[in-house]
């Protein structure tokens, strides 16, 4: 799960990268935080899509294709 503090840190590192550059440790931290954010985003999107029910014209649930 991504916390607001993690998002704030991602943004802080992004601003610092543009203004003065990042150290090697900061670049690694930035990559880890971005990966965690992307993974959480994908997981959330998948959960939302898994809860969608498609119905036909008559209101019956349509067969689901994986």
Give the pTM.
0.79
In a domain, 28, yes or no: yes
In a domain, 34, yes or no: yes
Whether the CB-CB separation of 1 and 40 falls below 8 Å is answered with yes
In a domain, 55, yes or no: no
What CATH number does residue 21 fall under?
1.10.287.540
The pLDDT, as a whole number, for residue 59 is 87
The pLDDT, as a whole number, for residue 66 is 64
The pLDDT, as a whole number, for residue 26 is 98
List the pLDDT tens digit at each of the 66 positions of the chain.
Answer: 899 999 999 999 999 999 999 999 999 999 999 999 999 999 999 999 999 988 988 888 887 776
The pLDDT, as a whole number, for residue 61 is 87
**Residue carrying the six token digits 């959960």:** 47
What Rg, from alpha-carbon coordinates, does the chain have? 19
Distance CA 30, CA 46 (A): 24
Tally of structural domains, the chain: 1
In a domain, 65, yes or no: no
């Amino acid at each position: 799960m991504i916390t607001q503090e993690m998002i704030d840190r991602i943004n802080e590192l992004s601003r610092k990268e543009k203004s003065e550059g990042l150290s090697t440790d900061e670049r690694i931290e930035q990559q880890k935080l971005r990966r965690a954010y992307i993974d959480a985003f994908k997981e959330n999107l998948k959960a939302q899509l898994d809860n969608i029910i498609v119905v036909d014209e008559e209101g019956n649930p349509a067969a689901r294709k994986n």
